[in-house]
């Protein structure tokens, strides 16, 4: 991007979608898109990195791990078309951030109000396990999205991997040990709230229940009801907040 061109969420999304920085992830996402799952054999897979999406005026940023091989890597929208996404959008709907509780494909009418959803890594990783190096290669995209969300007040991290990504960007020191419901203050009055990831491993075993998940987003909603705070941008001074829109 030319230095004189203002950054935007659309520009970040375009760059994310064209990224080929990590050979292992490129090979895997394209293999999955070519071979497909039998249930989706008639669908055209996205097969590219998946950008974040949501309300540009968001006061809540939700950061997940990475797109699912047959979820976001298929649909082209993070947390869309997989069971983890079912949990995320049900919880966002109950908390008042989403207009519907389901998310099946990019054109399904889902709209977020006051929330933006992103991920630490933008390509589907083998075995759902990106490496720290792959996380670091994606860090600039998350940092730019964060910087562009000028009304941001709360970041919810889904899982320890996302927590490490966010804590690293924010320069969080000291860094609390990750745990469900753990909170930490970030620069400029932004609050970090942690949740277990809504993976099948966690939801099927009861490690994460819907009541636990709802409590995280209820807490986020309570925190974002405050006004007159300052936004936090990783690596930049805080700047005055515009009047929040509801």
Which sequence spans correspond to the domains of the chain?
9-233
**Is the Cβ–Cβ distance between 194 and 183 less than 8 Å?**
yes
SS3 166: helix
Helix ranges (DSSP H) in 61-128: 72-75, 83-94
Residues sharing a CB contact under 8 Å with residue 218, sequence separation 6 or more, in sequence order? 95
pLDDT digits (tens, 9 = 90+) for 150-202: 999 999 999 999 999 999 999 999 999 999 999 999 998 999 999 999 999 99
What is the pTM for the complete model shown? 0.90
pLDDT at 234: 42
Phi, psi (rounded to 5 degrees) for 63 = -120, 120
Identify the residue with better confidence: 31 or 240: 31
- Helices 9-17, 132-148: crossing angle, 10 deg rounding: 160
pLDDT digits (tens, 9 = 90+) for 43-71: 999 999 999 999 999 999 999 999 999 99
pLDDT at 6: 74
Task: State the average pLDDT over residues 74-89.
Answer: 97
**Is the Cβ–Cβ distance between 152 and 190 less than 8 Å?**
yes
- Helices 210-223, 83-94: crossing angle, 10 deg rounding: 50
SS3 62: strand
pLDDT at 3: 46
Asked if pLDDT for residue 125 goes beyond 80, the answer is: yes
β-partners of residue 192 are: 155, 184
CATH architecture label of 9-233: 3-Layer(aba) Sandwich (3.40)
pLDDT digits (tens, 9 = 90+) for 1-47: 444 457 999 999 999 999 999 999 999 999 999 999 999 999 999 99
Asked if pLDDT for residue 243 goes beyond 60, the answer is: no
């Amino acid at each position: 991007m030319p230095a004189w061109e203002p950054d935007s969420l659309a520009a970040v999304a375009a760059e994310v979608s064209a990224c080929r920085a990590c050979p292992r992830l490129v090979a895997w996402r394209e293999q999955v898109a070519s071979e497909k799952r039998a249930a989706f054999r008639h669908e055209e897979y996205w097969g590219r990195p998946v950008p974040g999406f949501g309300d540009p005026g968001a006061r809540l940023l939700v950061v997940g791990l990475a797109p699912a091989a047959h979820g976001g890597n298929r649909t082209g929208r993070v947390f869309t078309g997989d069971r983890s996404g079912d949990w995320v959008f049900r919880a966002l709907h109950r908390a008042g951030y989403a207009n519907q509780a389901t998310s099946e494909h990019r054109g399904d009418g889902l709209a977020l109000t006051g929330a933006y959803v992103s991920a630490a890594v933008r390509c589907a990783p083998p075995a759902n396990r990106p490496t720290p190096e792959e996380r670091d290669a994606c860090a600039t995209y998350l940092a730019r999205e964060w910087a562009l969300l000028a009304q941001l007040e709360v970041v919810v991290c889904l899982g320890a991997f996302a927590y490490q990504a966010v804590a690293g960007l924010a320069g969080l020191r000291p860094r609390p040990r990750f745990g469900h419901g753990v909170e930490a203050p970030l620069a400029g009055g932004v609050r970090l709230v942690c949740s277990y990831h809504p993976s099948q491993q966690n939801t099927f075993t009861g490690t994460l229940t819907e009541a636990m998940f709802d409590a995280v987003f209820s807490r986020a909603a309570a925190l974002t009801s405050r006004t007159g705070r300052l936004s936090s941008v990783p690596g930049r001074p805080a700047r005055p907040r515009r009047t929040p829109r509801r």
